[in-house]
């Protein structure tokens, strides 16, 4: 109910509703767009950080920026960058958020081997910049801070499944940078009594997933092959295992983590794991092109359409360039703490539902590029 105040002439009138204010870094990314939708639906004023680019760089937010979107007037984008401390101070000073979701990062593991220093700056030191900007603007006792930590921290895993107590063993410049961010958050919680927490999120996907992460690369290729726009999909390690959930479900957890009395770190995962190979099989089958594998596992293995119009066509090949200098072979999270303490349901979207949603969306987008705006 809106509160009611007296106007100077004595008549009662509705006072403006005190809305909570949130700031999202990485709002232009997959998770940022879902989180912005969630917070707007909950009544927040949402400020998002966008980077300067030479071309249009926020297609995932197109629908929210449309004035016809129900809460469009409560959504604001600001230019800033995690490696520009002054820009972070300015945005905090101007927006005074009560909740900050730090999702911004160079988030691609393989790319981090080519851009190690930049990845360290954006995904590691960027976290420290944000924490220091909070202190510099005097918000450290009022703001709640969420850090997008990652299951990549477990790397060469020391236990199966992985939970909040499992030791870390990062395997890429990305994971090393995220390790710095993880400990920065813990350190600022202990040193300054800040409400700052890490969400250790396992892989989460959606039709909005970046196109060079393996799931989206697969579903996009499946659609293009189905429509005769692509011949073959080239992949790397088919036997890597991941615990894949839906990004829409995972942003709910981010919010829940900031609604607690005390800040704690949580593993967010489905509790199930499967291979890249299995994901590809499910995706091709969904599009009516079931595949069988031929040849020995390794560089010469192929995926061939087993039945239907394209029967006999080779649609998957292995290319060494997609192998990583150090691989994370298996990730499987134990979401018990999130289930118990946050009341979160790790099984809301099954892997099969996720695959189907992604393939169906990519089939629609391959046929009509304007369909992108729906996803």
Residues that bind ligand NAP (CB under 6 A): 25-26, 28-32, 49, 51, 57, 81-83, 103-107, 122, 126, 148, 150, 201, 203-204, 210
Q: Which residue number has the CB closest to ligand G4F?
A: 240
What is the per-residue burial (b if ≥16 Cβ within 10 Å, else e) of 163-192?
beebebebbbbbbbbbbbbbbbbbebbeee
Decide which of ligand G4F, ligand NAP, none touches 327; Cβ closer than 5 to 8 Å per partner kind. ligand G4F
Q: Which does 28 bind (CB under 5 to 8 A by kind): ligand G4F, ligand NAP, none?
A: ligand NAP
Reply yes or no on whether 174 is catalytic: yes
Taking contact as CB under 6 A, which single stretch among the options 85-93, 160-168, 188-196, 206-214 is the one that binds ligand G4F?
A: 206-214
Site for ligand G4F in 131-160 (CB under 6 A): 150-152
> Which C-beta is closer to ligand NAP: that of 367 or that of 373?
373
Q: Which of residues 239-258 bind ligand G4F (CB under 6 A)?
A: 240, 242
Structure-token pair, residue 177? 């940078």
In the block, which residue shows the tokens 């959606």? 206
Q: Which residues contact 210 (CB under 8 A, 6 or more apart)?
A: 29, 30, 107, 108, 216
Task: Please give the DSSP secondary-structure letter assigned to residue 259.
Answer: T
Q: Is 314 a residue of the active site?
A: no
235, interface contact from ligand NAP, ligand G4F, none, CB < 5-8 Å by kind:
ligand G4F
- Residues sharing a CB contact under 8 Å with residue 307, sequence separation 6 or more, in sequence order: 290
Q: Are 29 and 59 in contact (CB under 8 A)?
A: no
Does 123 interact with ligand G4F (rule: CB under 6 A)? no
Quick one: which of 12, 16, 18, 30 has its CA closest to 254?
A: 30
Contact pick of 101, 188, 202, 344 for ligand G4F (by CB under 6 A): 202
Q: Give the interface segment with ligand G4F, choosing from 35-43, 53-61, 82-90, 323-331 (CB under 6 A).
A: 323-331
Catalytic residue among 150, 166, 270, 349: 150
Residues between 11 and 70 with contacts to ligand G4F, criterion CB under 6 A: none
Instruction: Tell me which of ligand G4F, ligand NAP, none is bound by residue 104, counting a contact when its beta carbon lies within the kind-specific cut-off of 5 to 8 angstroms.
Output: ligand NAP
Per CB under 6 A, 214 contacts ligand G4F = yes
- The three-class DSSP label of residue 208 is coil
Give the CA angle between residues 81, 50, 171 to the nearest 5°: 60
Half-sphere exposure of 29 (CA within 13 A, CB side): 21
Shortest Å distance, C-beta 164 to ligand G4F? 15
- Helix ranges restricted to H, 42-115: 62-65, 85-95, 109-114
**Cα 333 to Cα 171: distance, rounded to the nearest angstrom:** 17
> Which one is catalytic: 152, 205, 281, 357?
152
**CB of residue 274 vs ligand NAP: minimum separation in angstroms?**
15
103 binds, among ligand NAP, ligand G4F, none (CB under 5 to 8 A by kind): ligand NAP
369 contacts: CB under 8 Å, gap ≥ 6: none
Residue 119 CA to residue 24 CA, distance in Å, equals 19
User: Which whole-number Å values give the CA distances from 289 to 12, 21, 214, 237, 280, in the listed order?
Assistant: 66, 47, 19, 21, 11
Out of 21, 133, 276, 289, point to the residue binding ligand G4F (CB under 6 A): 276
Q: Which is the catalytic residue, given 174, 188, 195, 250?
A: 174
Q: Which is nearer to ligand G4F, 210 or 290 (CB)?
A: 210
Residues recognised as catalytic: 150, 152, 174
Residues forming the site for ligand G4F (CB under 6 A): 107, 109-110, 150-152, 202-203, 212-214, 217, 235-237, 240, 242, 276, 322, 324, 327-328, 331
């Amino acid at each position: 109910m809106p509160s009611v105040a007296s106007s100077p002439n004595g008549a009662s009138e509705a006072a403006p509703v005190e809305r909570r204010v949130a700031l999202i870094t990485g709002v232009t990314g997959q998770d940022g767009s879902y989180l912005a939708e969630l917070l707007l639906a909950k009544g927040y004023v949402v400020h998002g950080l966008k980077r300067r680019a030479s071309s249009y760089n926020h297609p995932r937010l197109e629908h929210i920026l449309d004035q016809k979107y129900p809460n469009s007037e409560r959504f604001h984008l600001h230019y800033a960058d995690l490696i520009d401390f002054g820009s972070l101070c300015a945005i905090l000073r101007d927006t005074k958020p009560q909740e900050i979701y730090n999702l911004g990062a160079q988030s691609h593991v393989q790319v981090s081997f080519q851009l190690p220093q930049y990845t360290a700056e954006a995904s590691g030191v960027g976290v420290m910049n944000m924490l220091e900007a909070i202190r510099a603007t005097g918000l450290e006792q009022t703001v709640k801070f969420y850090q997008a930590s990652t299951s990549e921290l477990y790397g060469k895993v020391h236990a199966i499944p992985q939970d909040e107590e499992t030791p870390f063993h990062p395997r890429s410049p990305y994971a090393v940078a995220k390790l710095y961010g993880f400990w920065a958050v813990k350190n600022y919680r202990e040193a300054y009594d800040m409400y700052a927490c890490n969400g250790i999120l396992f892989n989460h996907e959606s039709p909005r997933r970046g196109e060079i992460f393996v799931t989206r690369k697969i579903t996009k290729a499946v659609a293009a092959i189905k429509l005769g726009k692509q011949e073959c999909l080239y992949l790397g390690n088919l036997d890597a295992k991941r615990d894949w959930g839906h990004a829409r479900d995972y942003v709910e957890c981010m919010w829940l983590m900031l609604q607690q009395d005390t800040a704690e770190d949580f593993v967010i995962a489905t509790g199930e794991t499967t291979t890249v190979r299995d994901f590809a099989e499910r995706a091709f089958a969904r599009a009516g092109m079931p595949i069988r594998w031929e040849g020995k596992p390794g560089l010469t293995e192929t995926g061939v359409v087993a039945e239907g119009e394209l029967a006999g066509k080779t649609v998957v090949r292995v290319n060494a360039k997609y192998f990583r200098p150090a691989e994370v072979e298996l990730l499987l999270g134990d979401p018990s703490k999130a289930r118990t303490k946050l009341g979160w349901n790790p099984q809301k979207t099954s892997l099969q539902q996720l695959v189907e949603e992604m393939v169906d969306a990519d089939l629609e987008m391959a046929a009509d590029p304007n369909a992108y705006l729906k996803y």
